[in-house]
Every structure is written in structure tokens, then in C-alpha cells.
Structure 1
Amino acid sequence: MTIAGDGSPDAVGRFLAVDSGGSGLRVVVGEVGSGRRSGPLSSGEPVRTGARGIDAGHLMEQLVPMVRTLADKAEAFGVAEVGTAVIGAAGLATLGDGLRAELPDALAREFGVRTVALAADAVTAYVGALGARPGAVVAAGTGLIAIGTDLTGWRRADGWGHLLGDCGGGAWIGRAGLEAALRAHDGRDGGSGPLLTCAEEQFGPMPGLPGKLYPRPDRPAVLASFAPRVARCAPDDPVAAGILRAAARHMVESAAAVCPATGEPQVALTGGLFKMGDPLLVPLHEELAKRLPHARLVAAEGDPLDGAVRIARDLAAGALTLPCDDVMLSVASSKGQGDHF
């Protein structure tokens, strides 16, 4: 389906593309119809969640000064109006009601935005990696989600957060590594001396770990910060290697749940977790060959912010062909007035 917010392409003006994830906001302002862009600019502070899910007010508190900074840098573009915005947000599928209700009007008031696409971060990860082609993408950073499409609808697996899922993601690996460290500290079976040493180097004595971890609002990110230690131990520590093999199995289970079963779909991996290299990638490739022999593993073309940029440009041109729904990707129109910069 082809969508433009008011039924006509926005061929002149700027677009805004946002990636909101576990590490904060990344923002780009670009010119429609050209490759010129300003950014990315990063906040480093994750958007809060509250009783209504993702806190739209907190997102706007961070976004407004970032957009104004980028817009000032983009004055050389020769256009002043931001007509289209795409917000890719972690947790949108399950915690996005507040954003859907409040963000389009807030963006219209602040920047004059007329057309807003709200996308799950899995969708922007997919589009950044594969574009508008059938297949599946595993997006793994602090959390983990798999998303697939045959271009008629979206399928997702996991992405349920660090308490209920995100199996195989950075927080999952870090938590498993810290559990193995605590087992070694206690003298229980399944412990890892090398991981215990790493945990004490990073967090201090183990009896103090719960007090340092549990009160933190960024607990998933803190857990994920230990995942690289697990990878570094894996070549010489069977416990750490087993954690990464289990993570690979979880990832491929999710990919298999969403990948089109027919044709020759493409599968891509995206996210900072894969920078851990062979200790994770070798077992992951083995699992993919077993579970998805009909699919072709390809390199991701870009990241979630690149996906948000691609969606924004297509939306502004009236050429968005991705499936839209009320959960994974939705488009809303607002009547923003004037130049708010």
C-alpha cells in the first residue's frame, strides 16, 4: 500500500528521523529529495516508561533541543519546514499507546510536522537492514527481537523485555554471565571462575552486586554491559561459550518463527551485539544453517536509524510500500502550522 499523510507527496522540506532505544535517542534531520542530512545526534539517555507506557513527554523533552540543534546546522539546505517525521521506538508494540495518542500533535506544535510515522524499532531495524524485501531480521542489542514480512503483514517474535524475554540479547547474555559468576562465588555447580573474576573487576565484590543493579532504572543496559566480558571469556571458558551457544539458539528460534516459509527470503543480523564477533557469530551461523536452510543470510545494509530515514523519505514521496497496521507501523496526519524554528 502507498501512503502519504495528506494524500500528496511532500517533495519540498525537511524530514525528521528518530531511533529511540535502550541507549537513548539518535536523531537525523534531512532534506526530502536529496541525500543531504544533519546528524546523527545522540542523547545517551533512554526514554522513560510509565503508567501509559513510553513517556511521550520525556521523549519530547530530549527531542526538541536535539532537533533545533540539527535544524540550525541544516540551514544550508535552503528549506525550513519539517513536514515528515518517523519515530522508531523500542517497546512501541506493547508500550506505545501514549506515543500514538500524544506524539503527532506534539510534533506538529513544536516543529510544524504534518505526517508522522510511528514504527517499532524492529521495523526500522528491518528496513535499515533489508529495505522493502521479504525476509527476516534479528535485531540484537540490549534486547532482542526478530521481525519478518512477506510484504503483506508483519510477524514478530520476542522483544518482550529483559524480565519476560529478549532471549539471547545483550541483557540476557549479561545476566546469564553474572549468574555464572555468582554460582562460582557461592560454590554452586555451573559457575565460572573467569566470569567471576570479570564480574568483580567490573562491579566490585559480588555481595554488593544486587544493591548496585536492582535499583537502577537502566538495569537492562547495565546487564548488557557485561555481555562483552562473556564473549571475551568464551574461547577459554566452556561456561561462557555455552551461554553464547544458548543465545544463538534463542536468536534462531525467533528468526524461524517470523521468516517466510516459502521462496528465498533474506535474513539479516543487525545491532551492536553482533560486534562481539566469532564467539557469537560462529554458533549463530551454525544454527541458521540448521533451522533456515531455505533462507539466504545477507549483510545488513544499515541500522535502525537508516531505516527510519528510508521510511521518512519514502513517506514524504508518497511511495511507502511497507505493510501498515496499528501496532508495528502506523501513519498519522496533523495540521502543523508555520515555521516553528
Structure 2
Amino acid sequence: MTPGPGDLVVGVDSGGSGLRVALARASADGLGPAETVVSRTPVRTGDAGIDAGHLLEQLLPMVRAARDRTGPDGPGGAGPVAALAVGAAGMGTLGGRLRAELPAALADALGVRRLALAADAVTAYAGALGQRPGTVVAAGTGMIATGTDLTAWRRADGWGHLLGDCGGGAWLGRKGLEAALRAHDGRRGGSPALLAAAERVFGPVAGLPGRLYPRSDRPAVLASFAPEVARRAAEGDTVAEGILGEAARHIADAAEAVCPGESAGGTDIALTGGLFGIGDLLLVPLRTELTARLPHARVVPPAGDPLSGALLIASALATDSLRLPADPTMLFLTGDGREPATGR
């Protein structure tokens, strides 16, 4: 089934900073202008995973508000919702309630039958590269690489700040603070410049463990020190430069692990996320690493963000043009009487 002239698709991006919803007219040729609504309240996560009820409490009024502002005929004049795609942080491991509860709830509330529930890495991929094979590295506070040859998904890292996310913002901040503490102790590998920066930002480093360890937002606090590492590297601090070089190697490790088999024309790698705002201090060694490991790959700018990726997935689902592979945790699909996806 292809959408009617006024049918709409909805993309949703749920993360640590809140919820974003975009609504646009669907078309086999692309998307019309999007209407976007933003909530600064993150969806709750508990022992049972992502809270489906809390997501719906926010999502449904946001979709209705966007719909009321869409179309020349005023409120409600934009037609039905043909498909909806949700990209959520933690969908793979914490999305059980969403997969169990959202299909029926959204069918009842909005009449939507075609639904995609995606890991945020998948919507980041779709936003950056669309529906072609390749690799996307998303690096902010954390770091994850996702790749596909359009038959299956591969992911590397994304294991959180205690077990992984190597090369991400929290990792960079932690390594910078480690170098500061080495300088405080007089151990090799320390950086007096990073020690001075740490004490300016956090106070005396002797009290840092007591101030840092109990915090529930520890990854964000660690990541807040990553810009200081970059600044010290820009000033010529060799320890800070070495940390950025190590980060580049870790990021390249993840990209190499998921990159699909290269065709004669090569493959595309897109780098997304706020960490790459550090600029050439990180990007130059990273491109060097990627060229050495994946000589036929091209580093390309991302076309869009995770919200635009969710909207693209919804439009492709509505128009029977979805090429990205279904997966029980990465990209879970329902619609048109089909059973929930079990992967392929």
C-alpha cells in the first residue's frame, strides 16, 4: 500500500536530552517539509526498561500538536498517519516494553498500523547515509559504530562508560583526568596542564573521587572535561595530543569492525555526533587511521541527524520502499497484519 495524498509519517527521537517528534507528508519520491515538536523531558527508564507509558504520555499530544499545525485546511486537515518510527537510546537492551505495548497503543490512539522501533544507532545511520550500505560512527558522550550491507546489522562498542564507549566524550574526559591525577601523584604519563585544568573545573583533585563516583550523571560529567583535553592538545600538550590519537585509534577499531565488505566502488563512512566538533585535532588522526585500515572507504558528511533518520524510516515503511534490514532489537517492524519482525 502506498500512502494517500494527505497521509503523514512521524519520526521520533528519544534520548537523554528529551523527545523530538517530526511529522511530514509521505511520498514515494521523498518527504515534504517537516513539522517538529520538542519536549525537554527524557523518557523514564526503570527496572523493566524504557517506560512505554511515559513515552506515550508525551508522544501522543506532541503528534496531535504537530498534526494540528500541518496542512492548509487547518487542524486535522492533513490526513491519517500512515507510519511511525521511533528511535530510542537503549532500544536494543531496554526496549522490551516498547515492543510489547506500542503497536496496539499507537494503533488505537492514532490508527497507525505500520510501526518501526529502532535503536538510536539505526536512526543515526538512516539520517547519515539513508538506505545504502556503509558505516556510521556516532560519538558524543558515548561511542558506537553501526554498519550494514543491507542484509544484516553489525555494531561495535556502545557498551557504556564503564565497559566501553572507547574514544567517546566520557572516555576522553576520563583519560584526561587520569593524566591529571598522574601529574598530581608524580607518576609517569601525567600532564601538569591537564592537572591545572582539572583543578580549575572541579576543584582540588584529591577530592575528585568523592565528588564524582556517587553521581548518577557521571558519564556527562566525565565528558564535560573532553573539551579541556582538546584545548590542552591545541596548546601543544603532548599528553593531551596522545589521548586524542588514542581516541582516533579506538574509533577506527569500531568502524573497521562493522564496515561491510567493500565493493569495487568502495564504501561510505559517516561521522556523526558532537564529539567530532573537536575538529582536526581528532579528525586528522582518525582519517589517517581509517585510510590505513580501510583504503577503499570514503569519509562522507552525514546527510542528516537521528530525527531525520526516523522520519526517513517511517516514510520508507509507508511507501513499501524500506531497504534497511529488519532485526528483532535493532529495527523491529510491525504493520499491515504482519507479525512483529523476528529478524532476517
TM tier relative to shorter chain: 0.7 to 0.9
- CA distances 1:193-238 after superposition (whole Å, capped 9, x unpaired): 2222222333333344334433333322222222122111112211
Distance, in Å, in 1 between the alignment partners of 2:171 and 2:42 is: 18
- Runs of 4+ with deviation above 4 angstroms: none
2:150 maps to a residue whose letter is: L
- CA distances 1:66-120 after superposition (whole Å, capped 9, x unpaired): 3344334335473153332111112222222222112223333443332210111
Equivalence for 1:50: 46
Distance, in Å, in 2 between the alignment partners of 1:191 and 1:302 is: 39
Name the stretch that deviates more: 30-39 or 211-220. Answer: 211-220
Name the stretch that deviates more: 71-80 or 89-98. Answer: 71-80
Aligned ranges for residues 204-215 of structure 1 at < 5 Å?
204-215=203-214
Q: CA deviation at 1:250?
A: 0.7
TM-score normalised according to structure 1 size: 0.88
Structure 1 residues 246 and 225: alpha-carbon distance in aligned structure 2, compared to 1, 3 A threshold? same
Tell me the secondary structure at the aligned position of residue 161 of structure 2: coil
Retained in 2: the 8 A contact 1:15–1:313?
yes
1:18 maps to a residue whose letter is: V
Q: CA deviation at 1:259?
A: 0.8
Equivalence for 1:3: none
Equivalence for 1:292: 294
Tell me the secondary structure at the aligned position of residue 25 of structure 1: strand
Q: CA deviation at 1:248?
A: 0.7
Distance, in Å, in 2 between the alignment partners of 1:29 and 1:150 is: 29
Equivalence for 2:187: 188
1:26 lines up with 2:20 in the alignment: yes
Q: CA deviation at 1:334?
A: 8.6
Q: Which runs of 5+ in 2 are unaligned?
A: 338-344
Equivalence for 2:312: 310
1:333 lines up with 2:335 in the alignment: yes
Tell me the secondary structure at the aligned position of residue 87 of structure 1: strand
Distance, in Å, in 1 between the alignment partners of 2:58 and 2:162 is: 26
Retained in 2: the 8 A contact 1:22–1:221?
no
- CA distances 1:47-77 after superposition (whole Å, capped 9, x unpaired): 3332222232333344344334433433547
Structure 1 residues 58 and 162: alpha-carbon distance in aligned structure 2, compared to 1, 3 A threshold? farther
Equivalence for 1:60: 56
Structure 1 residues 173 and 23: alpha-carbon distance in aligned structure 2, compared to 1, 3 A threshold? farther
Name the stretch that deviates more: 136-145 or 198-207. Answer: 198-207
Tell me the secondary structure at the aligned position of residue 221 of structure 2: helix
Structure 1 residues 162 and 322: alpha-carbon distance in aligned structure 2, compared to 1, 3 A threshold? same
Distance, in Å, in 2 between the alignment partners of 1:205 and 1:74 is: 54
- CA distances 1:229-258 after superposition (whole Å, capped 9, x unpaired): 211111221111111111111111111111
1:17 lines up with 2:11 in the alignment: yes
Tell me the secondary structure at the aligned position of residue 208 of structure 2: helix
2:329 maps to a residue whose letter is: V
Retained in 1: the 8 A contact 2:194–2:232?
yes
Structure 1 residues 75 and 194: alpha-carbon distance in aligned structure 2, compared to 1, 3 A threshold? farther
- What percent of counterpart residues are identical? 62
Tell me the secondary structure at the aligned position of residue 32 of structure 1: strand
- CA distances 1:97-155 after superposition (whole Å, capped 9, x unpaired): 22211222333344333221011111111111111111111111121111111111111
Equivalence for 1:252: 252
1:250 maps to a residue whose letter is: H
Equivalent residue in structure 2 for 1:38, among 35, 43, 48 = 35
Equivalence for 2:223: 224
Equivalence for 2:238: 238
Structure 1 residues 185 and 64: alpha-carbon distance in aligned structure 2, compared to 1, 3 A threshold? farther
Distance, in Å, in 2 between the alignment partners of 1:228 and 1:198 is: 10
Structure 1 residues 212 and 332: alpha-carbon distance in aligned structure 2, compared to 1, 3 A threshold? farther
Retained in 2: the 8 A contact 1:9–1:317?
yes
Structure 1 residues 298 and 117: alpha-carbon distance in aligned structure 2, compared to 1, 3 A threshold? same
1:9 maps to a residue whose letter is: T
1:157 maps to a residue whose letter is: A
Distance, in Å, in 2 between the alignment partners of 1:298 and 1:150 is: 17
Structure 1 residues 324 and 283: alpha-carbon distance in aligned structure 2, compared to 1, 3 A threshold? same
Aligned ranges for residues 138-177 of structure 1 at < 5 Å?
138-177=137-176
Distance, in Å, in 2 between the alignment partners of 1:285 and 1:45 is: 36
TM-score normalised according to structure 2 size: 0.87
Distance, in Å, in 1 between the alignment partners of 2:69 and 2:192 is: 51
Kindly indicate whether structure 1 or structure 2 has the higher relative contact order, using CA contacts under 8 Å at least 6 residues apart.
1
Retained in 2: the 8 A contact 1:15–1:32?
yes
